[in-house]
C-alpha cells in the first residue's frame, strides 16, 4: 500500500492505496464518489472523465498514484450550496440528458474546455467532447447545452 494525497473537489484527501489502482476505482470504491461512471474500462468511451489539474483524463486508465499531490475534480464537486453548475442546468434545460450515463463525463470534458476557452465555437465544443460517447441523445443537444452554458459564463 502507498499513500495518495489529493485535493479532491477542493478538499484535502489522504488515503492508502494499492499502487496498481486506477483513479476511477479510488474515486468510486474507496471514496464512494459514484458520479464518475465506468463504461468500457479501456479508455474508449469517456464515461469516466474527471479533471486532473484542470485537464480532462480517462480515469479508468489513469493510475491513481499519478494524481498524487494534484488537484482532482469530479462531477460531485460542481454543485455548490445545492446549486447546480451552469453546465448541469443547461444540460437539463436543453434536454441533453436521457439515460444520463455519459453525462458526468460529458460535463467534465465540457468544463475543461470552458475553463480554458469561455467562448468556444461549435467545432471546438465537438472536439472537446469527441472522446465521450453518448448512445442516447446524439450530440446536437449536448453541443447546444455547452454553448448555452458558455453563454451564461458557465465554467
Ligand atoms: S470507462 Fe474510461 S474511457 Fe470508458
Ligand atoms: S444520455 Fe444516455 S449515453 Fe448519453
CATH classification at residue 24: 3.10.20.30
**Distance, CA of 19 to CA of 106 (rounded, Å):** 28
pTM to 2 decimals? 0.96
Domain boundary among 51, 74, 97: 74
Of residues 152 and 18, which shows the higher confidence score? Answer: 18
pLDDT tens digits, one per residue of 43-78:
999 999 999 999 999 999 999 999 999 999 999 999
CB 110 within 8 A of CB 128: yes
Whole-number Å distance, alpha carbon 132 to ligand 1 midpoint, is 9
Could you give the number of structural domains in the chain?
A: 2
80 lies in some domain? no
Mean pLDDT of the region 90-111? 97
Among all bound ligands, the one having the nearest atom to the CA of 132 is: 1
* The C-alpha cell that represents 48 in the structure block: 469516466
Decide: 67 in ligand 2 pocket, CB within 6 A. Answer: no
* The C-alpha cell that represents 53 in the structure block: 489539474
Beta strands in the chain (DSSP E): 2-8, 11-17, 49-52, 55-58, 70-73
Average confidence score pLDDT of the chain: 96
Residue 11 shares a structural domain with residue 59: yes
pLDDT tens digits, one per residue of 70-99:
999 999 999 888 899 999 999 999 999 999
The CATH number given to whatever domain includes residue 95 is: 1.10.150.120
Among all bound ligands, the one having the nearest atom to the CA of 41 is: 1
Decide: 98 in ligand 2 pocket, CB within 6 A. Answer: yes
> Which domain, by its residues, includes 25?
2-74
Beta strands in 2-150 (DSSP E): 2-8, 11-17, 49-52, 55-58, 70-73
Domain boundary among 74, 97, 132: 74
Residue 7 shares a structural domain with residue 45: yes
Decide: 66 in ligand 2 pocket, CB within 6 A. Answer: no
109 lies in some domain? yes
Whole-number Å distance, alpha carbon 23 to ligand 2 midpoint, is 22
Amino acid at each position: 500500500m502507498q499513500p495518495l494525497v489529493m485535493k479532491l473537489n477542493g478538499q484535502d484527501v489522504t488515503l492508502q492505496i494499492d499502487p496498481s489502482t486506477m483513479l476511477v476505482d479510488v474515486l468510486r470504491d474507496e471514496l464512494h464518489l459514484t458520479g464518475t461512471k465506468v463504461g468500457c474500462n479501456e479508455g474508449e468511451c469517456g464515461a469516466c472523465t474527471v479533471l486532473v489539474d484542470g485537464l480532462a483524463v480517462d480515469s479508468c486508465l489513469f493510475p491513481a498514484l499519478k494524481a498524487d499531490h494534484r488537484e482532482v475534480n469530479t462531477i460531485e464537486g460542481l454543485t455548490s450550496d445545492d446549486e447546480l453548475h451552469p453546465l448541469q442546468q443547461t444540460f437539463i434545460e436543453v434536454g441533453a440528458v436521457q439515460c444520463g450515463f455519459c453525462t458526468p463525463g460529458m460535463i467534465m470534458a465540457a468544463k475543461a474546455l470552458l475553463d480554458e476557452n469561455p467562448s468556444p465555437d461549435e467545432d471546438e465544443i465537438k472536439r472537446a467532447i469527441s472522446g465521450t460517447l453518448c448512445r442516447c441523445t446524439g450530440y446536437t443537444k449536448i453541443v447546444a447545452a455547452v454553448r448555452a452554458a458558455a453563454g451564461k459564463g458557465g465554467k
